[in-house]
Amino acid sequence: MARQAPEASVFEKFAVLTRGVGMELLRLLCEALGLRPDYFDGDLSGGDVILSINRYPPCPNPSAALGLPPHCDRNLITLLHTGPVHGLEVLHDDDWIKVEPVPDAFVVNFGLQLEVVTNGMLKSVEHRVTTNAALARTSRAIFIQPKEDCLVGPAEEFVGEDNPPCYRTVTFGDFRRKHSVVKLGSSLNLTTNLKDIQKDIR
């Protein structure tokens, strides 16, 4: 007998509660970084909340196919529930490191907008998803992002005479549209393209 899909209300509740966790994490980051507690409230986190559910079926030859190519998240912060099956990998010193699944826990990814706000102090880590030869894998992610017309740039707390801004201040909508063009191009490694994406925005 086929499993019945959860009702829409289940997904809505998951999205609302998980976003609440994400906002609390952002407030804790503010405390650690010396920002006012509500710095990320409002337009910086007020964009559409995206719930992404990805199903990766077993792949007989995992080395021949990636579940998700290398990338950095373009939003502010991501909360990812990976499930019990290995698949998520992060890039560290040119090596791909497997992320061990932790039951009933979220993986937190800093997005490119958080890297911009902190003027590069916090980095958006490049990651990918590999497939499994025997087991299917399902992941669930909540993406918290700015509103389309929100101007995102380095916070004044991270800019000074000896620490000039590394990134321009641009609207999230302009960044997102340029990011999508780069993503559809020849390179899917967006980590090194953050400044290039901003540079080409008029």
- Token duo for residue 178: 């340029």
Per-residue pLDDT, averaged over 94-112, amounts to 94
Name the percent of the chain lying above pLDDT 90. Answer: 69
Domain range for residue 131? 8-199
Size of the chain in residues: 202
Asked whether residue 40 is domain-assigned, the answer is yes
Gyration radius (Cα) of the chain, Å: 18
Q: First CA to last CA across the chain, in angstroms?
A: 55
Which tokens hold the place of 167? 């990134």
Within-domain flag for 94: yes
Backbone phi, then psi, for 37, in 5-degree steps? -60, -30
pLDDT, mean of residues 29-37: 97
- 77-81: average pLDDT: 97
Structure tokens at 56: 């990766």
Task: Write down the residue that tokens 């980590």 correspond to.
Answer: 191
Alpha helices in the chain (DSSP H): 8-33, 112-117, 172-183, 194-199
Output DSSP code: residue 142: E
Structural domain contains residue 3? no
- 161-193 pLDDT per residue, tens: 999 999 999 999 999 888 765 444 333 343 445
Answer yes or no: is 179 within a domain.
yes
pLDDT at 157 over 50: yes
CATH number at residue 190: 2.60.120.330
- State residue 95's pLDDT score: 96
- Give pLDDT, residue 201: 64
The DSSP letter of residue 85 is: S
Residues 6+ apart with CB under 8 A from 112: 72, 73, 74, 75, 124, 175, 179, 190, 194
Is 188 buried (19+), middle (13-18) or exposed (0-12) by CB count in 10 A? middle
Q: For the residues of 89-134, what is the DSSP string, one character each?
A: EEEETTEEEEPPP-TT--EEEE-HHHHHHTTTSS-PPPEEEE--SS
Q: Is residue 156 part of a domain?
A: yes
Give the number of domains in the chain: 1
State how far the Cα of 144 lies from the Cα of 19, in Å rounded to an integer.
Answer: 7
| Residue 142 placed within a domain | yes
Mean pLDDT of 22-38: 97
Q: Please state, rounded to an integer, the average pLDDT across all residues of the chain.
A: 87
Q: Which amino acid is at 173?
A: G
Structural domain contains residue 184: yes
**Residue range 105-120: average pLDDT?**
96
Whole-number pLDDT of residue 90 = 95
Residue 3, pLDDT above cutoff 90: no
The DSSP secondary structure of 30-70, one letter per residue, reads: HHHHT--TTTTSGGGT-S--EEEEEEE---S-GGG-EEEEE
pLDDT at 186: 38
Residue 2 lies in a domain: no
Give the pLDDT mean for 125-148: 93
